[in-house]
Amino acid sequence: MHALVTRLHPLCRSRTGDGVRRTLEIIGERIPLEIHEVPTGTRVLDWVVPREWNIRDAYIKDPAGRRVVDFHASPLHVVGYSLPVSAVMRLEELRPHLHTLPDKPELVPYRTDYEGETWGFCLSQKTLDGLDEGPYEVLIDSTLADGHLTYGEHVIPGSGHDEVLISLHTCHPALANETLAGIAVAVELAERLAETRPRHTYRFLFAPATIGAITWLARNREGVGRVEHGLVLACAGDPGPFRYKRSRRGNAAIDRVAAHVLSTREHTVIDFVPFGYDERQFCSPGFDLPIGLLTRTPNEEFPEYHTSADDPGFVTAHAMADTLAVMEEIVQVIEGDRAYVNLQPYGEPRLGPRGLYKSPVTHTDHRQYQMAILWVLNLSDGEHSLLDIAERSGIPFAVIRAAAAALEEAALLEERA
C-alpha cells in the first residue's frame, strides 16, 4: 500500500484531466476498472461537467535562468486550473499570483481555483522571502478546453441484490494521506474481496470530489436504491485515532457496524454534518443513502493537511494496515450479520453433550466464547440479528458469529427465512 502511495504521489491530479486518467490507469494494473468519460457540458443534477484542465510545464525563472519554482518538482507549485501564461514580470507584479503559508514557512500550500479565470503559483514562504525584485520569466503551459470528466468503478459481484459502495476521491495532487492512502487501502481491500464469494456486491468508486460523486449519482439514479451500506474513505494513513461520521440517517446499519468495529480501538463517532467529503452528496435529502465517512485524523485537523508535508513520509504502512484491518472487519460484519431462530427455545439446551460447554472455572480463555453461546441462544428469536446481539452483549461480532456457526452446526439454530 505504501508503495502505491509513493508511485501515485507525483502525479498532477485535478477534477479532470490526464493526471486523473494516469491515476486510474495505475490503479487498473491492480484491479480491473470500468472507465467512464463524461463530456464537458453534460448536465448532472444541478451541475454541469466542467472543462478539462491539463498542464505540461510551469515555472518561475530568476534572472540567472534558475527555476526558483518548478512544477516538475511538485504539482503543488501550480494553482489547480490555472490558465496559461507566458510573461516576464517583476516581483511586484508577480506577488498577487503567489500563495504561501507564512505560519509554516518551510511548506508549500495546496490551492485550486475551479471557478475562476486566473492563474497562480504556490511556494514556501522561505522561498518567497529569498526572491529579489527580478525580473522573472513566468510560464504556465496549460490548457482549459472542452473534454471529459473521468471516473472509474471496480465491481465485485455478490450473490444477493444489495450493494456496498466504497468511495474514494481522485482529484488532489501530491497529498499522500488526505487522498492516496485511502485509495491504496481500497485497492488492497478489493484484491482481498475478489478472493471471496460475498453476499453483497461491492462497488469501489474512484472519482473527483463533489463533481465526480454528483456525476455518478446523476448517471445512476435508478440503481442507488441497491446501496445498502456505504463508506467514503479518506485520510487513511496518518498515525492518529479513527473518526467515523454517521450517515444523515444517523442510525443506518453502516453507522452501527462502524461504531461496533471501532469500539475496540481509540476513536470518536460524530453525527452527520453537511460538510466534508462526498458523504454530503450521497446523503443529500433526495438520495439519503446509508453512507458514512471513515478517516483517521479528519481533514483540516492535522497540520500537514493540504500542504507539501502531506507526503509519503507522513503516512505509515502501519497506519494503513490498521485502516485496512478496520475495513475488513466492517466487511465481515456486513457479510456475516443475519438473524437466527433458536430451535430449542424452552429452557437452555444441554450444551455439554454437544461439545459446546466448557467450565469457565477451568477454561478462563473460553469465557467470552461461552457467554457468546448463551447470548446467541437467548436472543435468537428471529427478531435480533447477530449485530444486535454483539451490541447488547458487548462481545465482538467475530466471536458472536463463531458461536452462531457452532450452534447452527449443532442443529440448535436455524437462519431466519
pLDDT for res 115? 78
- pLDDT for residue 359: 57
CATH 1.10.10.10 for domain 339-415 = yes
Residue 62 — φ and ψ, nearest 5°?
-80, 175
Q: What is the pLDDT of residue 360?
A: 54
Q: What is the pLDDT of residues 275-288, one digit of tens each?
A: 999 999 999 999 99
CATH for the 53-145 domain, from 1.10.3720.10, 3.75.10.10, 2.102.10.10, 3.50.30.90: 3.50.30.90
pLDDT tens-digit profile of 89-118?
999 999 999 999 999 999 999 999 987 689
pLDDT of residue 83: 96
Stated as kind and residue range, the H or E segment containing 67 is strand 67-70
Q: How far apart are CA 327 and CA 319, in angstroms?
A: 12
Model pLDDT for residues 118-176, shown as the tens digit of each residue: 999 999 999 999 999 989 999 999 999 999 999 999 999 999 989 999 999 999 999 99
Query: If you write DSSP's letter for every residue of 282-350 in order, what string do you get?
Result: HTSTTT--SEEEEESSPTTSSTTTTBTTSSTTTS-HHHHHHHHHHHHHHHHHHHH--EEEESS-SSPPP
From CA 260, how far away is CA 281, in angstroms rounded? 25
Of 284, 317, 278, 328, the residue nearest 177 (C-alpha): 317
Position 417 pLDDT exceeds 50 = yes
Confidence check: pLDDT of 380 > 70: yes
Cα 294 to Cα 292: distance, rounded to the nearest angstrom: 7
Question: Can you tell me the mean pLDDT for 18-36?
Answer: 98
Residue 227: predicted pLDDT: 98
Instruction: Check residue 367 and give its pLDDT.
Output: 87
Question: In which element (H, E) is residue 19 found?
Answer: helix 18-28
- Reference 245, options 260, 263, 231; nearest CA is 231
| Mean pLDDT across the chain | 96
Identify the pLDDT of residue 357. 81
Contact 397, 386 (CB under 8 A): yes
Centroid of chain to Cα 300: 15
pLDDT tens digits, 309-332: 999 999 999 999 999 999 999 999
- Residue 362: what pLDDT? 46
Residue 229 has pLDDT above 80, yes or no: yes
Q: What's the fold here for domain 2-50+148-336?
A: Aminopeptidase (3.40.630)
DSSP 107: -
| CA atoms of 266 and 185, how far apart (whole Å) | 19
Rg of the chain on CA atoms, in Å: 26
pLDDT band at 355, cuts 50/70/90? confident
Predicted confidence at residue 220, as pLDDT, reads: 97
CA–CA distance, 69 with 49 (Å, rounded to integer) = 31
pLDDT tens, residue by residue, 334-353:
999 999 999 999 999 999 89
* Domain spans of the chain, in order of start: 2-50+148-336, 53-145, 339-415
Task: Give the separation between CA 344 and CA 33, rounded to whole angstroms.
Answer: 49
